[in-house]
């Protein structure tokens, strides 16, 4: 914060604003309200500026994975079950009444029978795919997200999507990158 920033914030104190607003017209009360709101917003902007500057620095120095405007996405691997055996070779055995996969010994027995089901135990075919979880400006932030949430996510990865022609994303990236120059 510069001396000018401090001085502009202290030009009018809260007690002075209270005195001005006592018995003042609606127009003056609205101005006092607007001044208080502007001061609150200025404090919030100053508080977030350093964090935004740090993001800008990372944007200027990170590996963009050969893309001018990447959007780093955390993705998790999910299974889509109930596929036909003609569609996929991936499967697992599921014991319906117990809501679990059978033991290794039971799986070996079922495999030897070469059946699709045995009583309440069924062969469930599935495909795996990557599902979008969250978007980030920097790969470092995506990795922090994974580190803090891996207990909920399972198998994860970071993928760099291109923000080509996404003018909002590009404008925000450009703004953040410019903060690093200040």
Q: Which of 74, 77, 87 is nearest to 145 (CA)?
A: 74
Phi, psi (deg, nearest 5) at residue 92: -145, 160
In a domain, 23, yes or no: yes
Joined tokens for residue 151: 């207990």
In a domain, 46, yes or no: yes
In a domain, 80, yes or no: yes
pLDDT digits (tens, 9 = 90+) for 85-132: 999 999 999 998 889 999 999 999 999 999 999 999 999 999 999 999
- Looking at the structure of the chain, the number of domains it has is 2
Q: Which of 11, 27, 54 is the last residue of a domain?
A: 54
Residues 47, 74: one domain?
no
Residues 33, 112: one domain?
no
Tell me the whole-structure pTM to 2 decimals.
0.70
pLDDT digits (tens, 9 = 90+) for 136-165: 999 999 999 999 999 999 999 999 999 999
Q: Which residue is associated with the tokens 């401090």?
A: 6
Q: Which of 149, 134, 147, 144 is nearest to 71 (CA)?
A: 134
Please say whether the beta carbons of 121 and 106 come within 8 A: yes
Residue 3, pLDDT > 50, answer no
Q: How far apart are CA 28 and CA 22, in angstroms?
A: 10
Residues 47, 114: one domain?
no
In a domain, 36, yes or no: yes
pLDDT digits (tens, 9 = 90+) for 10-30: 566 666 666 555 556 778 778
Report the pLDDT value the prediction gives residue 15, as an integer from 0 to 100. 67
Residues 100, 28: one domain?
no
Domain span holding position 82: 70-162
């Amino acid at each position: 914060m510069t001396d000018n920033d401090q001085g502009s914030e202290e030009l009018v104190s809260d007690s002075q604003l209270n005195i001005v607003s006592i018995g003042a017209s609606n127009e003056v009360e609205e101005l006092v309200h607007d001044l208080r709101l502007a001061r609150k917003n200025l404090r919030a902007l100053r508080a977030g500026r350093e964090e935004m500057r740090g993001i800008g620095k990372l944007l200027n120095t990170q590996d963009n994975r050969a893309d001018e405007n990447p959007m780093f996405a955390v993705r998790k691997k999910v299974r889509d079950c109930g596929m036909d055996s003609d569609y996929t070779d991936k499967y697992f055995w599921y014991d319906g009444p117990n809501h679990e996969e059978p033991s290794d010994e039971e799986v070996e027995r079922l495999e030897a029978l070469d059946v699709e089901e045995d009583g309440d135990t069924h062969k469930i075919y599935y495909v795996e795919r990557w599902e979008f979880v969250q978007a980030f400006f920097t790969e470092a932030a995506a990795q922090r997200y994974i580190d803090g949430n891996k207990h909920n996510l399972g198998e994860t990865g970071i993928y760099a999507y291109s923000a080509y022609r996404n003018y909002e994303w590009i404008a925000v990236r450009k703004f953040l990158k410019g903060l690093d120059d200040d």
